[in-house]
Every structure is written in structure tokens, then in C-alpha cells.
Structure 1
Amino acid sequence: MAPCSLCQNLQSRDDPSYARLAFDFKPSQLIESATVSSCLCCSLILEGIQHFADSSWSVDKDVSRAYAYGPSDLGLAETLFVELYFIDERPKLVLEYFHPQSRGLSNGSPPGISTNPGPGDFLFRWPAIQSKPSVNGPIFEPDSLKWVTSHLNECLLQHPICASANKTPELPHRVLAFGPSPDGCIAVKLQENDGPKNALYAALSHCWGSHQNCTTTTKTLEERKQGIPWDEIPQTFRDSISYCLKIGINYLWIDALCIIQDSDSDWQLESAKMADIYENSHITLAATAANCDAAGLVASRQDFKPEYQLTTVPTECSPIRVREKLHHWDVPTTQMSMRRNPLLGRGWAFQERILSPRILHFCSQELVWECGQLTNCECGCIRPNAGIKRQFPADMFRVDLAEANLSDNGNASYEDEDIADRLTKPTDCLPALSGLAKRAAVLFNDYLAGIWSKTIRADILWRVDKLEPGAERPAMYRGPSWSWVSVTSQIKYWSRNELIDYHSADPFLDFTGGGISAYGVTQTICTVDVAGENPFGEVQSAKLVITGKLVIAALGYTFSRVGTWADLQREYDPFQYQLFLQVPGHGLMEFSFFPDYILSDRNDYYIPDGAKIYLLEIFSNLCLVLQDIEAMCRRIPDFAYTPNGF
């Protein structure tokens, strides 16, 4: 019997040019194939779509087209997905068709391969529809807890990368202690440990939100030590405490309650230990989907329609379920990912995530496990590269120099993130990375407001690739202009290969009249004064003295003509600037460069069109652009001459 002309019976075509199952259709075509032609596969697809149609739309009236695709050798899809596109502007709906299986460990199996066969796994099935774990119900249900404890035990017993974190640690100075009380509730108190005490504890990574509902202050410290009433504890903290008890942990560290929030001295002392606290925790609970401490550890799954088991599946076939496709965060992190998972946009969470030996993310639709060796989710579809711990293993920041295999500007990797723009308190920019910096100091020597003395020439060449609205130097001082701390935009570094390419190219900018030396910088002297006790924390002042070669240039705004022919006007582009330079043998030339911020904004850092600026050669054909201010220079941006661009 010939396959269905629309869905090909959910099989790839014989034509080798088609690498996978994929077809698009209009709703009318699907309805006709299912009802008139009696195609079973089209009937299954239609039933799933009709179930998820709500009162605001119907398949035949509101869906303009659909696209179905399935697994392939290219790994582009793990099971059968159907994307629905609507006539109006509502976002597309993606449905996932799968054979349900019990949740368990991945054991490294590719997505869609069942390692926990269910009762229907030995019945007939379509190759396009793969086995996937079912994700239904609350986080405290037995299947969900079993999934977590299985991953925890596997990590403790079978992961060599994570083995160094298996010892019973010393408790932090302050920690929440809790357990069942006689009245059936949970008794919670703040415990201060004056001497060493070893026990397993968890740490919480969470978003504070605009208002903190429960903190420890100098006034409430003694009260907290006597006990914290359950009804005063915000929902995220309650959920975390309850979850700890479910997995056999009686101690939890939460920054809001374990650091005295109105004591600067206590904050300086305890915040300096935060990296060690997360690194030594048995597990970190991450309220990844919650935007504040009142939201709960995980958004309620009742916001999403539960999985639906198709009724048109023949009895000789394995059961098939349909659900909305579960969203996983993107790598690198996108704005959409941060809207769905606010914690990914919190500056402190970057360090907490890297240093914690194992993290359990509570996302809006499911749980995600992340440790040094494995990243997995309940639905089984998250990509392995979604785990940041694989990109930035904690060992990177612990190893001896002889064991290190890092690039000359190794800090560039973790500071490429726009950490500076993800903090509630702007001055936390350096403290939020201080734990990583402390561990990397053995490799890179002195830490200078976010850069390293050993790699200072490469480090000060960070750049803002693209100016966007709001790109500015913050009004509150966070660090010197030569450090990435001084801007609010995402920054990048020149890679080692790019530096070599620029350096090995024929010199174009002749600073000396007789060729450029191998290195423009002959001496650097730097002094940094920190604001507190943490040498890797907040900076009070800093000065960098560089001996090198300077050339004078002029800043130029980029203008365009706007208006009608009768009323033409010039309007400048605040995101594009030029510099003008007299080049021997070529005359006055115009170059693009990388500004650190919007130079034309009328504030303390305003630089007018035509202003005199200086180029300081750092590498051959790579310069800093500087502004003269009171016998000192302020960094504006990077200038890079592309050798093949002239």
C-alpha cells in the first residue's frame, strides 16, 4: 500500500537529498487526509493539535500552516515535533509527540533512546516518534524526587570529575538549620557555628527581586537564632527548605538570611566566603524560573497543559503522548532565555553556577540537573552544551600553573558575559566574580580591577562590539576606564589568533617614521585600592601608567541627511563614530573603531565631534583610543586596523 502523500506514514523519503522526515501542510490538508483518506498518522497528529486548541482558536479557522519534522542522522530533532503558525500575530505553538517512559538516568544515551523501558516499549512504534520521559505533576511527587536522587547518587559514586566534592564539608559560619517539629510543621532557625562543624548542606541560588521579604539584620539576628516563624519565610525559601528535607539535608545557606544585610563589615567578611560556600555545598538549589523570593522555587506547572495521551492509537501500538515542547535555555544565553529563566540574568549566579559541584535548576516546566560531568533534564531533550560547568569547569580555577592549559588571556572567557549589567547593586560587579578571580590568581598573578598583570596588554584591549541604547559609563564609580567594569555593555576580547594576525601584518600606522617596534608598550605600572577586605572585590580607585607610543587623531561623528529636499538636515548616528588620522604617504584617512559607550550623550563623559584624541599602540595595528583629562588619559574604545581592509 502506498504511503500517505502528505505525511509519508512518518517515514523519511527514499530520496537521499532528504536527510530527515519533514513536511509542511495546511490544516485543511491534514483534516482531509485524516478524515477522508483515513491516514492513521495524520489522525494522530490532528488529535494532538485539536486537544491543545483552546477557546481562543481552532485548527481550521486560526492556523495558517503547520510544519512537522522528526529525527534524523543529523540530530536536528529528537522525536516528532509539529509547529503551528497562526493567522494572527500570536506566537507559534510547538507540540511534541513521544512514547512515554519512566524518568531515570541518561547514562550517556542519545536523546530518545530508552534506558528505562516502560510497559509499552515492546509494542509497535513509528521510528519518527521516540521514547521520552513523562514530565507531569509537582516537584515533590515520587517520580520527580526519584529522578533527582538517582542523579545525585550517580554523581557521587560514578563521576570522577565531581569526586573531589564528595567529602563532608565544614558548615558555613551561619546556616539555616531545620527539621520536623512536634506540631507537624517545619522548625527553622539561624544557626551560628563558632567552631568547625562538619555536615552536608545545600546552598540556594536565587533572584532577590525589587523587595526583600525576609532578611537578617543587626536588629533581627538574635530573633533569627531563636527561630524563624514559618509564615514569615517567603515561598522560595520555604520550598527550598522543604525540598532539602525530601532529599535528606537539614542545613541550607541563603545569602539573605545568613549575612547581616545592614552591616557593611559583616557583608565584607561573609561575602568574601561565598565562593567557598557554594563550592563546598553538597548541592545548590537554583530557583532559575523565579524572579523574586516570593515566587516559589518553581513556577506552578498548572500554567501548562498536562501531557495528553492519544486515544486513536491502536492497541497493538505503544502509547503516544503529546505535550507543548518544553523550553530550554539557549547557549549563549539570549534575552528570551533570561525572560523565561530570570536567574540566568543575575550576575552573582554566574559564579555560583560554576563553583557549585552540582546544581538542580527549578525551571518553569521541569527540573534540570547540572554537574561537572552531566547536564540532563526531565524531558531528556536539553543539549549537552547547555551546561556551563562543562565550558568553565571549577578545576580551571584551582589547578597549579604546571597543569594549566589556558590561553594567555584566560580570563577573557568568563568575562565575555555582560555580568556588569546583571546586578541589582552596581558596585557588586567585581565581588560577583571575586571567587573565580581568587582561584585564577595562581595562574595570572596580580588582579587589577578585573584584569591580570600577567596578561595586561591583551586584557586592556577588551571591546564593546556593538553599541546599543543605554550603552553608557555608569554614574556610580565601579572601576577605572581601562577595565571592563566601567561599562554596562557586553564585552569581548581579541582572541590569541586575532592578536597574532594583527601583529604579524605589515604595519600600517607608522608611529615613529621608521617602522613600528615589535611591541608598542615598553612599561606598565598599576596601582589598585580596594574598598574592603576582599582583594578581588569592589574597587575604590585605580591608576594605570603605560609607557608607549602615541599619535594624535580626531573624533568624528557619523552624519546622515534627513528630511525633504526643501528642508534637508544633518542628523548624527549615536552608535557610529569615526576617527581621522594623518597617515604618512596617504594623507588624512578615516577609520572606524569600537567606542565603549555613546560618546555623544550630554553627560560627564561627553566628547564633542572633532575632539582631539590619542591612539596608544598596544600591539602592532591594535591601539587604545584615549582622551586627555587633567594630565591623565581616559580610555574611550579600541581601534583596530584590519590589514586587508585598506
Structure 2
Amino acid sequence: MPLPKSLRQPAKRKNSSSGSNPQLRRKPCRICHNLDPRGHSSSVYQMESSKKASTSLTLVLDGLSLQKNHSCRFCGVLTQALDAFFEGWRGKRGRFTVDLTEKRSIKVRIDDGASKSEIVEIYAGSASRSPWPTLGTAHPIPSNSGSDESFDFARRCIQDCLTNTKHTSCRTSLSSITPKRLLDVGRVTAPIRIIEMGTHPTPEELKYITLSHCWGTGPVLTATKENYYSLARNIPFEKLPSLFQDAIIITRQLGLRYIWIDSLCIIQDSIRDWETESAKMSAIYENSYITISATTSGDSQTHCLSDRRKPVKIDYRNTTGKEFALRARKILNHHPDAKEGTPARPTGPLTTRAWALQEHVLSTRILHYTETELLFECKTSYCCECQPSRKAYSTTPALIPKALGNGKKYGICDAWQHIVSQYSKRELTVPMDKLPAISGIASRIQEATKSDYLAGLWRENLTSDLLWSANPSSNARLEPSWALDAYRAPTFSWASLDRTITYYEPDDHERTLFKPNIEILETEMSLTGLNSLGTVSDGWIRLRGPALYALLTSSEKDGRPEYSLLIKGTSAIQISHDCLLIEDEVPARLGEVEKTVRRARAGEEIKEFKTRVLCLRVASYGDWLSGLVLGLSSRVTGAYERLGTFAAGIGETSRAGSREVKLV
């Protein structure tokens, strides 16, 4: 018979470090919180569904404190992962961001601009033996981008896009415009060669792949007038650059016969052929079966089918000494941001190239070959090898269809300005390609708006388009803050400079208050080639609007130039200058000269000045306005050139009178 409760011995208290009483448990590490998202003062609790709750926590850790903490086994997990992937982090007072989410992997990144896209992911090697309750597993990524598993991933993504009834945007009627040439690569026993499609291409010829790639600074295999007939007979596989070989392998693996590669399908030393075919970019990429984006390849000699770094093992033992399978791998911060509505962000040399932006915006489907995995985008959805479930995120190919489906004019114009802002961050090997390299996107915008194109601006949205600003970005010190040596576009166009530019983004209330202050009287653009949306040799617009003279002064603050407007009866108004400015003289009446301000060219001495300029009110938003700062042109007598933009209260420019102004 069991003893009565009153006579039983009280149970011994468990050790405080492992007991069930919360007050007796060992306190979490003050640095890493035992890599547990729960119970921290900054923990965020949210319901993933009606029955399932999730907790997340973001920690910012000091690198030196992390190195010195040898007593915490969880800090040891972090230091092992950092040692494996971030060489040289020890001994520095760096900061690390650690993202913890219940039942998911841990994301660790260096908290600086240079390495922000690189993430170390720590995860349990087995879901059945997770070393602690809140740590989850990660989807395996093949160790080679040319593996059967990676090709299977690509095929599944494409097949789902082609057959999914929700992908209506991906099956819009295709353009009748076709590339003049393709590369025939589909049969191993037949020669690889350039073919001409003719006026009535076969259904098989209409099913082709496009390659988006960096040319690089080294030699590139190109089609020329001299070698064209040789390339049309036979191109030995071993004579092709490494990247082109990989593109052919991918084409064959996806079951296709034809691929379009710009350097081979456009005769590069024929101006007429280049202008004709480059003007078709919109249709060529939109009509293609899929675009292969060689994101990580810096030139045509660099493979995109390559080995990836394998995950590393992390040593971890719990308090009883039991060892668990723990892994870490490097991934890239490429996922779309659902909250911000931004598309995937693959990183690599190709993402810095200007031509590649329109290739990706115009494509119906894209397969990005990145350093760590494959990413797939179409006009409807996105997925990647680390998150293979397809979701309807914002994507790069969906930017224009989404804007067109908006049904509002400002939606299309906003999309254009967003694309131009991103485009301005990218580099061109040939500076004169600034307008041609975005002309494919411009053609899609023109089809929708029927508007006149003014060297990167649209007549129907000119009031807003004129108000771009040169943005002092994070790499502003590396950007050329000078006027171009050769003419490329009128000064009112962003294409006249090599600067990162932005547009003001009004909220919904400000849109209702927006009012143009200018009237467009006349415009003219002089083209230099066959592409109506391409290179210009000259251009001007004549406007009527409220304008007044002011003094523009220059000064320096913290090593950076500042320019301010002095208007009688108001305080100084700082302007957003297009580039460095300099005082100059232009011819005036009776053989005299008049002082003005213009954009400075490289090598010119920058001095302080106080000189008269013209301020043109362009648009107002309720009780404040935006306008252009203009200086007399030394190139066209009586005309004005753009120097920058300004914003001010309505009252500060109340003395402005109506005036006709010609901008060049």
C-alpha cells in the first residue's frame, strides 16, 4: 500500500540550470540570447495562421564582444560560422545582424554596406534531431549549377509557368517582330551555326532562348562582316567562349534548339545592322522562351555552370555532451521584399551593367545563375533553389505589365521613373549607348502612352519628368561629378550625365495637389540613327512658365560643394545640383559678355562664385513648389541649360513672372 501523501518525502529540487521552473533556469546569454527568438524584450510575436504562432528577433552584435565570450556554446556557433565565411572579421569592432525566427534557419550578416548582400545561414542538419527547439532546417541546394537537380528545378519552374492558369501575364500575345538571326545549337551531331530566320519562321524557330551576359574587357567572339559566312557554316564547340558553351548546354538540357546571343546574332561592325536589331530588343526578349541570366559571370570566358561552395559542419554539443548535426552555408540576400513590393535582388557583375536591366525587365521568364543558386522569375511569380515553392511576389519582368494593368497614367509614368532610377546606377562600356540601352523599355512605354519621347523624358509627363535630381548615393564619391566631354543628350535629360538620379515620389494626397506650372510650346529632337528612341545629336524644348532671377552662390561643407539660391526677401534656398558647377561668360549684345553658371568639366578649377541664374517654377504641390535652376547656354545663344533643381514655398517665388524659356 502506498504511503499517505503527508508521509512521503518531498521530491529533490532539480538543478537550476535545467529545471522546469522559469525562475530557476539559467539566464540566456546577454550577447546572443542563446539564439532563441523567444523571451527577449525585442521579440516580435505574430500569428502565421489561426492556429500557429511565430516569434522573431533581430540582434545586432558587437564583433569583439562575440569573440571574447568563450563560455557560451551558442556564441561559439556564431563564431565558427563567421570564421568559415567572413575572413578577417576577428580583431575588428564589426557589427553583425542576427535574424532569428522560430522553427527557421538563422541568418547572420555583417552590418555594413559592402557585405550586406552576403548572408551566412545556420540550420539543423536533420529536422528530427534539431539541437534546440527553435532552430529549423533549410532546403538543400545542389553543389553544382549544372547538376541534374538544378536542371530539374529549372524545368519545373518553366513548366509551371507555361501550364499554370494563373499565369495569364506570361501568355500575352507575342509580338510579330522576330530576331533576324539565331544560333542553331540543338543537335549534338550537327554543326553549331548562325541561321537567318527569314520572313516566315517555323514554330520551332520561334521557340528560342536569349542570353543576358557581360561582355567584359577581354576578347569576345563576335559576328563581323569578315567572319559572318564562316560562322554561318560551322562554329566548333571548343572555339566558343566558356560562357557560350554553358549557354548551349543549358539550351539543350531544356530541350530547345535555338539561342539568341547578341554578339553573334548582330553583325557588330555594321552600324545599320546594329541599329536595326538593337531596336528590336523589346520584342526579342519578351518573345523568348526564357532568358539565361549569367549573373555571376564577369565576361564570356567565365562559366555560369560551376561548382558551388558546400555547407560547412558546425561543432555543437548540448549540456549533456550530445553532438548534433549543424550546418552553415553562404547565401545571398536576393529574395523579394513583400512589404516594400520590390522584386528579387540577384547580385553579381551582370547586375551592374546597363544593357542587362532592359533585358530582364522585358523578358517573360528569367533564370538567374548566381554564385550560390538558381533564381527563377516570370511575369507572375518567383522562386529559388533555397525557397523552391513558387509565390506571386513582385518580379522584374512584371514591372511593366503591372503598371499597364494599373489602368492609371501615373502608374506607367511611375514605373518608367523607377526603372530610370535603377538604370542610372549601372555602367556602360560605350557611353553613347545611354539612350539605346533603355530604348527597348521606352518602346513598351510608348506603345501604352502614345507619347512623344524626348531623350529619356515623355511629353505627356514632362512636368514630372523634368524634376529628376542627381542623387548623392553611397558611392557618390566614385561617380563622375562632371559634365560630359562629348554631347550625348540635352541638359534637361538625365541622359546628359553619368550620375545616379532619383525622382520625388508624392503620396496619394500630394498627387491630388499636384499642378503643372509650365506650358509646353514646342519640342524637337534630332536623331542620329535608325532607332527612333536611341541616340540624339541635338534636342530642345520651349516652355512658358513663371520664372525669376536669383543669385546662385557656391560654398563647401565637409569637403562637399553646396549651392544656394539668394532671392530678395527670403532665406537662402539650397539646390540639388546636377554636378559640379562653374562660373563662365557668354556673348551678350553689342559685343559684350554676360556672366553665367554652367556644369563644370573634368580638370577645370572649382572656385566660389555668386552669379545670376534663372529659376523656373515647374510644378506645385499645394503651398510648395519644385523648379529648375538654369544658366545661359554657351552652346546655343539665348537658350538655357539645366544646373539643378530647387524646392521652395509658394511665397518665396511670388515675384516670378511668365516667361518663355528654351532649354537645350
Superposition TM-score tier, normalisation by shorter sequence: 0.7 to 0.9
TM-score, with structure 2 as normaliser: 0.75
Unaligned runs of 5+ in 1: 35-40, 101-119, 505-517, 561-571
Report the Cα distance in structure 1 between the residues aligned to 2:110 and 2:489, rounded to whole angstroms: 49
Matches within 5 A, 1:158-237: 158=164, 159-164=166-171, 172-182=179-189, 187-197=191-201, 198-199=203-204, 200-237=207-244
Out of 564, 568, 572, the residue aligned to residue 590 of structure 1 is: 572
Give the SS at the match of 2:445.
helix
Give the SS at the match of 2:440.
helix
Assess if the C-alpha contact under 8 Å between 2:185 and 2:191 holds in 1: yes
| Pairing 1:540–2:573 present | no
User: What is the deviation of 1:21?
Assistant: 5.4
Out of 341, 352, 355, the residue aligned to residue 345 of structure 1 is: 352
What's the counterpart of residue 439 of structure 1?
444
Report the Cα distance in structure 2 between the residues aligned to 1:46 and 1:416, rounded to whole angstroms: 37
| Pairing 1:128–2:134 present | yes
Q: Deviations over 1:157-204 (max 9, x none)?
A: 11424441597988622011113444xxx8411111123222221100
Report the Cα distance in structure 1 between the residues aligned to 2:66 and 2:418, rounded to whole angstroms: 47
Report the Cα distance in structure 1 between the residues aligned to 2:28 and 2:453, rounded to whole angstroms: 63
Aligned identity (percent) is 24
Give the SS at the match of 1:474.
coil
Out of 363, 369, 378, the residue aligned to residue 362 of structure 1 is: 369
C-alpha distance 349-439 of structure 1, shift in aligned 2 (>3 A): same
What's the counterpart of residue 106 of structure 2?
80
What's the counterpart of residue 491 of structure 2?
481
C-alpha distance 410-282 of structure 1, shift in aligned 2 (>3 A): closer
What's the counterpart of residue 500 of structure 2?
490
| Pairing 1:465–2:471 present | yes
User: What is the deviation of 1:366?
Assistant: 1.3
Report the Cα distance in structure 2 between the residues aligned to 1:553 and 1:426, rounded to whole angstroms: 34
Give the SS at the match of 1:416.
helix
User: What is the deviation of 1:240?
Assistant: 0.7
Give the SS at the match of 2:195.
strand
Alignment-mate amino acid for residue 139 of structure 2: P
Out of 255, 258, 281, the residue aligned to residue 248 of structure 1 is: 255
Alignment-mate amino acid for residue 387 of structure 2: G
Report the Cα distance in structure 1 between the residues aligned to 2:614 and 2:92, rounded to whole angstroms: 59
| Pairing 1:18–2:24 present | no
User: What is the deviation of 1:436?
Assistant: 1.6
| Pairing 1:52–2:84 present | yes
Report the Cα distance in structure 1 between the residues aligned to 2:117 and 2:508, rounded to whole angstroms: 40
C-alpha distance 99-32 of structure 1, shift in aligned 2 (>3 A): closer
More moved, 186-195 vs 464-473: 464-473
More moved, 439-448 vs 24-33: 24-33
TM-score, with structure 1 as normaliser: 0.77
Matches within 5 A, 1:405-444: 406=411, 411-419=416-424, 422-441=427-446, 442-443=448-449
Alignment-mate amino acid for residue 622 of structure 1: S
C-alpha distance 529-329 of structure 1, shift in aligned 2 (>3 A): farther
Report the Cα distance in structure 1 between the residues aligned to 2:391 and 2:580, rounded to whole angstroms: 38
User: What is the deviation of 1:321?
Assistant: 2.6
What's the counterpart of residue 603 of structure 1?
601
Alignment-mate amino acid for residue 531 of structure 1: T
Alignment-mate amino acid for residue 434 of structure 1: S
| Pairing 1:144–2:142 present | no
What's the counterpart of residue 615 of structure 2?
615
Report the Cα distance in structure 2 between the residues aligned to 1:477 and 1:317, rounded to whole angstroms: 68
Matches within 5 A, 1:283-294: 283-294=290-301
C-alpha distance 390-79 of structure 1, shift in aligned 2 (>3 A): farther
Assess if the C-alpha contact under 8 Å between 1:594 and 1:639 holds in 2: yes
C-alpha distance 351-78 of structure 1, shift in aligned 2 (>3 A): farther
What's the counterpart of residue 632 of structure 1?
639
C-alpha distance 623-28 of structure 1, shift in aligned 2 (>3 A): closer
Assess if the C-alpha contact under 8 Å between 1:409 and 1:458 holds in 2: no
Assess if the C-alpha contact under 8 Å between 2:365 and 2:397 holds in 1: no
Assess if the C-alpha contact under 8 Å between 1:428 and 1:538 holds in 2: yes
Assess if the C-alpha contact under 8 Å between 2:169 and 2:401 holds in 1: no
C-alpha distance 489-603 of structure 1, shift in aligned 2 (>3 A): closer
Report the Cα distance in structure 2 between the residues aligned to 1:385 and 1:599, rounded to whole angstroms: 47
Assess if the C-alpha contact under 8 Å between 2:170 and 2:364 holds in 1: no
CA RMSD after TM alignment = 4.3
Alignment-mate amino acid for residue 159 of structure 2: N
Q: What count of residue pairs does the alignment treat as equivalent? A: 573
Report the Cα distance in structure 1 between the residues aligned to 2:600 and 2:68, rounded to whole angstroms: 60
Q: Deviations over 1:559-579 (max 9, x none)?
A: 46xxxxxxxxxxx95531112
What's the counterpart of residue 587 of structure 2?
none
User: What is the deviation of 1:359?
Assistant: 0.5
C-alpha distance 212-4 of structure 1, shift in aligned 2 (>3 A): farther
What's the counterpart of residue 459 of structure 2?
453
Report the Cα distance in structure 2 between the residues aligned to 1:522 and 1:32, rounded to whole angstroms: 72
C-alpha distance 358-169 of structure 1, shift in aligned 2 (>3 A): farther
Assess if the C-alpha contact under 8 Å between 2:341 and 2:394 holds in 1: no
Report the Cα distance in structure 2 between the residues aligned to 1:84 and 1:465, rounded to whole angstroms: 26
Report the Cα distance in structure 2 between the residues aligned to 1:354 and 1:232, rounded to whole angstroms: 31
Give the SS at the match of 1:207.
coil
Report the Cα distance in structure 2 between the residues aligned to 1:628 and 1:66, rounded to whole angstroms: 50
Assess if the C-alpha contact under 8 Å between 1:310 and 1:320 holds in 2: yes
Assess if the C-alpha contact under 8 Å between 1:430 and 1:450 holds in 2: yes
Out of 562, 567, 572, the residue aligned to residue 581 of structure 1 is: 567
C-alpha distance 383-617 of structure 1, shift in aligned 2 (>3 A): farther
Alignment-mate amino acid for residue 610 of structure 1: K
Report the Cα distance in structure 2 between the residues aligned to 1:611 and 1:352, rounded to whole angstroms: 45
Report the Cα distance in structure 1 between the residues aligned to 2:645 and 2:82, rounded to whole angstroms: 56
Report the Cα distance in structure 2 between the residues aligned to 1:333 and 1:93, rounded to whole angstroms: 21
User: What is the deviation of 1:461?
Assistant: 1.6
More moved, 89-98 vs 403-412: 89-98
C-alpha distance 533-642 of structure 1, shift in aligned 2 (>3 A): same
User: What is the deviation of 1:403?
Assistant: 7.0
Assess if the C-alpha contact under 8 Å between 2:522 and 2:543 holds in 1: yes
Unaligned runs of 5+ in 2: 1-17, 20-24, 45-55, 583-598, 654-664
Give the SS at the match of 1:436.
helix
Q: Deviations over 1:127-148 (max 9, x none)?
A: 4322321124211212111111
Give the SS at the match of 1:417.
helix
Report the Cα distance in structure 2 between the residues aligned to 1:559 and 1:491, rounded to whole angstroms: 22
